[in-house]
Amino acid sequence: MTDLDLTLNDPPVREDGLCAVDGKERPELAVEKGDPFCSQLCCRVYYGVVFPSDANSRPNAKRRKREAGEEVTMTGRRKVAKV
């Protein structure tokens, strides 16, 4: 039986210095540390570890909800009418 190497490597840092996932500018600390991602969300998307709560973190999700006629709050949660 052989040992499997399950090491996951980050993508290379882009030459233009932008995020490897969404192409946005990376924070100064990420640039200093050589982190190819602009956020934890981009890192999780790259590695396929996305949480249900991440759906509200994406700007396009909010745009799609608005276009569908759903009310969107700043937190991405739906408003519930109090009775």
Domain of residue 54, residue span: 12-73
Q: Which two tokens stand for residue 28?
A: 């100064």
pLDDT of 44 > 80? The answer is yes
**Number of structural domains in the chain:** 1
Residue 78 lies in a domain: no
Where are any strands of DSSP class E within 33-75? Answer: none
Q: Which two tokens stand for residue 34?
A: 């050589």
> What SS3 state is found at 5?
coil
pLDDT of 11 > 80? The answer is yes
Flag whether the pTM goes above 0.75: no
Nearest alpha carbon to residue 11 among 28, 30, 36: 36
Residue 46 lies in a domain: yes
- The model's confidence at residue 6, banded by pLDDT at 50, 70 and 90, is confident
Give the integer Cα–Cα distance in Å for 76 and 68.
14
Q: What is the mean pLDDT of residues 59-83?
A: 60
